[in-house]
Amino acid sequence: MINWKKLESAVTLDNIIEDSFNSPQVIFKHSTSCPISGMAKRRLEGGWDLDLSPYYLDLISYRSISNAIEDKLSVRHESPQIILVKNGKAIYNESHLDISASSLQESLDAHLHG
C-alpha cells in the first residue's frame, strides 16, 4: 500500500527538492484521463515495497507544477512519469510502461549503495 502525498504547489516542490538532500524523494506524475497512466499507477501500488512515501501529482489539475518540475529538475515532461530526486537532482526517471516499483528500487539501491 502506498501512502501518497499530494504535490499541489510550487512550495511543496521546493520542499521536495530541499528534502532530497536528507533522503531520496519520489514524484509520480499521473494523468487521471489516461488509461496507461492508470495502469502504471496500479502497477506501482501492486509492487510497492519501498520505505518511501511518494508524491502524487495530478497532471490535469496541476500541469503548471509539472512545468516547474521540468524547469527545476531538467526532466522532460512525460505522462505518466516517475522521478527519483536525490541531492536536488533527478537521478532516475521513467515513463509509461517502463514505470515499476522494482526498477525504481534498483535505481535507488545503485545510488545509495553503489
Tell me, what's the pLDDT at 114? 63
Burial class (CB in 10 A: 0-12, 13-18, 19+), 50: middle
SS3 of 40, please? Answer: helix
Domains along the chain? 5-113 (3.40.30.10)
Q: Write out the chain's pLDDT in tens, 114 residues.
A: 799 999 999 999 999 999 999 999 999 999 999 999 999 999 999 999 998 999 999 999 999 999 999 999 999 999 999 999 999 999 999 999 899 999 999 999 888 776
pTM of the model: 0.95
Percentages of the chain per state (helix, strand, coil), in multiples of 5: 45, 20, 35
Tell me, what's the pLDDT at 21? 97
Tell me, what's the pLDDT at 1? 77
